[in-house]
Amino acid sequence: MRIVVLAGGIGGARFLRGLKQAAPDADVTVIGNTGDDIHLFGLKVCPDLDTVMYTLGGGINEEQGWGRTDESFTVKSELAAYGVGPEWFGLGDRDFATHIVRTQMLGAGYPLSAVTAALCERWQPGVRLIPMSDDRVETHVAVEVDGETKAIHFQEYWVKLRASVDAQAVVPVGADRAKPAPGVLEAIGEADVILFPPSNPVVSIGTILAVPGIREAIAEAGVPVVGLSPIVGDAPVRGMADKVLAAVGVESTAAAVAEHYGSGLLDGWLVDTVDAGSVAGVEAAGIRCRAVPLMMTDLETTATMAREALRLAEEVRA
Amino acid sequence: MRIVVLAGGIGGARFLRGLKQAAPDADVTVIGNTGDDIHLFGLKVCPDLDTVMYTLGGGINEEQGWGRTDESFTVKSELAAYGVGPEWFGLGDRDFATHIVRTQMLGAGYPLSAVTAALCERWQPGVRLIPMSDDRVETHVAVEVDGETKAIHFQEYWVKLRASVDAQAVVPVGADRAKPAPGVLEAIGEADVILFPPSNPVVSIGTILAVPGIREAIAEAGVPVVGLSPIVGDAPVRGMADKVLAAVGVESTAAAVAEHYGSGLLDGWLVDTVDAGSVAGVEAAGIRCRAVPLMMTDLETTATMAREALRLAEEVRA
């Protein structure tokens, strides 16, 4: 079975670990979000790709969900001693090495997809990880500061401001001119199932879908497309998805996110059991819906979620 | 008193520490060698500038003479885990931060001289440190491998091969087209004394003198130019200077190095007491010469060497 998964960071990565457990023989291609990539200290940092790679490769800091385990921060503190920031982005020494290798390869002319494949040779994530695009896309968030609207990098909004101010708009700058990376459309075209993990529907999966050609390829693939709600009981399971959902005019409910994706794209939708009351409404919108436990508390629970998603896909197919 | 010092790495840096002790009120400008700069992992590394900066700024690894004290090697071992080398160049985590800041600033368009000044704002070396040139100069060494002559980077010759094969030629690639960095010729023109510390006469001071305009400015400055022999008792005090001296046809003796610089450039020369027998020959070549202890065993001994150099300069002036 060939499965294509659109993934952001922590939520996507943890779901993928469950999926690998649920379907160990599946051929999984992950299309990773690069809209939250950022240049720091002259180095190219790809937080979502790295979170997937480290999580599946056994290098992740389990507790925080991102970054490397057993990490130290010597380089960062030395940079601070030079007065060079930002200090709000926590790059550790082990993590720095990844960004140094990536930046060196990009500088030598390799596209991001080739660089990602090279980094994965070390991590052996057990999936094929492809960035959504080799072209630069950078998610900006419009916020009001002292009465004036200004656009800031998504990471500044998310990590520095901790989404503490309202997002007025979320713009994946450059997405409209970006091309899907080599292999993205092919993987979608050859997929048996396409999954949207409980990743952020705006700044993770939404950004991937904003690359011209990807949404269309998924809609026209003719295979079940099943998603899992990142909203449980009217609040994001993790992170601050409600803030960016509001910016695109979508309520923070499992049903509203399903309708945001729309029945033209989504065939099936899993909501948490606490949101069982919304199943009928989602189905009325033309999307097959089931209520199952959606908290990724451990690997076995997550694998069960993945099995439910695959089961719903087979139901859709039948 | 305004003193200009041409400096390589360890020998130059240690001498400068003695000079600061000997002449605490002097206005010291250091013209640093950049011929052994190297790009590693996409980062610009300037070993000699950093050795001067770390030594005078209190950050040097005293025992090894280069690199940072209290150093760790997490980034390097992670790079090795990615299969990315070279492994023979020992960059530590603290040191990496310096190269990251430098590379980021160069990428942003700042010349190396401005970057060096910015890095020195942290280290406060107590001297003005200027790279010999903002233009790229890279010292290559011609060696014979399996019957064929090939040119390798100086660092590969020095650090990887430990000068274990004969150097057939030493070429400061790019020096002929390089311009002295802003401030270099001005400092020479305004100097009261110019000193050549016991640095490598070929790959350190020789490279600085190879930048068009610098040798001429020193020769025409009309102030005492005094050097200290890096060769004591027919062998380099430290390092493998004999290997590169042979490549330029110069014997490894204190007298031969003085004559290599020549009386057109050098007014005074200090040799070690064990080389007292060579004083007459050097003087016969038109260079005033004294034999004094030249082993930089501790700060006080080194300060005494600096005082002797300044005393010889006054003798020359008178």
Q: Please check whether residue B147 touches A, CB under 8 A.
A: no
Q: Do B101 and A119 touch (CB under 8 A)?
A: no
What's the pLDDT at B240? 82
A65 found inside a domain:
no
Rg (CA), chain B: 19
Decide if pLDDT at B304 tops 90: yes
B136-158 mean pLDDT: 93
Q: Which residues, other chains included, contact B120 with Cβ-Cβ below 8 Å and sequence gap of 6+? A: B53, B57, B129
Asked if the structure places residue A305 within a domain, the reply is yes
Q: Nearest 10 degrees: CA dihedral of B268, B272, B276, B277?
A: -100
3-state class percentages of chain A: helix first, strand second, coil last, to nearest 5? 40, 20, 40
Of the partner residues B75, B84, B118, the one whose CB lies closest to the CB of residue A96: B75
Position A235 pLDDT exceeds 90: no
Question: In the structure, what pLDDT confidence band is assigned to residue B188 with cuts at 50, 70 and 90?
Answer: very high
Distance between CA B28 and CA B56 in Å, rounded? Answer: 12
Cβ neighbours of residue A292 closer than 8 Å, sequence gap 6 or more: A270, A272, A273, A304, A305, A308
CB contact (8 A) between residue A82 and residue B42: no
Mean pLDDT of chain B: 96
Number of domains in chain A: 1
- Chain B residue closest in CA terms to A59: B78
Task: Evaluate whether residue A229 is within a structural domain.
Answer: yes
In a domain, A135, yes or no: no
A237-280 tens-digit pLDDT: 877 888 899 999 999 999 999 999 999 999 999 999 999 999 99
Residue A81 with chain B: CB contacts under 8 Å = 97, 122
Q: B189 falls in which pLDDT band (50, 70, 90)? A: very high
Look at residue B239 in the predicted model and tell me its pLDDT: 78
Cα A182 to Cα B244: distance, rounded to the nearest angstrom: 50
The tens digit of pLDDT for each residue in B53-106 reads 999 999 999 999 999 999 999 999 999 999 998 989 989 999 999 999 999 999
Here the tokens at position A51 are 């979170």
The domain spanning residue A26 has which CATH number?
A: 3.40.50.10680
Which helix (H) or strand (E) element contains residue A130? strand A128-131
CA distance B35 to B175: 8
Q: Name the residue in chain A with its Cα closest to that of B124.
A: A82
- Alpha helices by DSSP H, listed for A47-163, are 47-57, 74-81, 93-107, 112-123, 154-155
Q: Show residues of chain A in contact with B73, CB under 8 Å.
A: none
Query: Taking phi first (over 0 means left), then psi (-120 to 50 degrees means alpha), and beta for anything else, what does residue A22 get?
Result: alpha
Output the pLDDT for position A238: 79
Task: Inform me whether the C-beta atom of residue A64 falls under 8 Å from chain B C-beta atoms.
Answer: no
Q: What is the pLDDT of residue B90?
A: 86
pLDDT tens for residues A180-213? Answer: 999 999 999 999 999 999 999 999 999 999 999 9
Q: Tell me which of B39, B74, B123 to substitute to probe the interface with A (most A C-beta atoms closer than 10 Å).
A: B74
pLDDT in tens, A277-290: 999 999 999 999 99
**Average pLDDT of span B154-158:** 93
Q: Please give the residue range of the domain that contains residue B305.
A: 2-133+177-317
Residue of chain B nearest A96, judged by CA positions: B75
Q: Which of A49-63, A170-184, B223-237 has the lowest mean pLDDT?
A: B223-237
Q: What's the complex ipTM?
A: 0.92
Summarize the confidence of residues A149-172 as an average pLDDT: 92
Q: Please tell me whether A93 is known to bind a ligand.
A: no
The answer to whether B318 faces chain A, any CB pair under 8 Å, is no
- Local confidence band at A136 (pLDDT 50, 70, 90 cut-offs): very high
Tell me if A93 and B72 make a contact (CB, 8 A cut-off). yes
Say yes or no to pLDDT of B236 above 90.
Answer: no
Residues of chain A contacting residue B84, judged by C-beta atoms under 8 Å apart: 101, 104
Please tell me if residue A103 touches chain B, with a CB cutoff of 8 Å.
Answer: yes
**Does B143 map to a domain?**
no
pLDDT on residue B52: 98
| Cβ <8 Å between A84 and B104 | yes
Confidence of residue A145 (pLDDT cuts 50, 70, 90): confident
Pairwise CA distance, residues A70 & A60, whole Å: 9
What's the rounded mean pLDDT across residues A58-70? 95
Q: Is B122 on the interface with A (CB under 8 A)?
A: yes
Instruction: Please give the pLDDT value at position A44.
Output: 97
Closest to A263 (Cα-Cα) out of A282, A290, A291: A282
Across the interface, do B84 and A101 touch by the CB < 8 Å criterion? Answer: yes
The per-type count for chain A, helices as H runs and strands as E runs, is: 13, 14
Give the mean model confidence (pLDDT) for residues B109-136. 98
The yes-or-no verdict on residue B28 having pLDDT over 90 is yes
pLDDT at res. B275: 97
Mean of pLDDT values over B170-196: 97
Smallest CA-to-CA distance from A267 within A250, A245, A291, A283 is with A283
B274 inside domain: yes
pLDDT-based confidence at A135, cuts 50/70/90?
very high
> Which of B96, B98, B124 to substitute to test the interface with A, most A CBs within 10 Å?
B96
- Note whether residue B151 is domain-resident: no
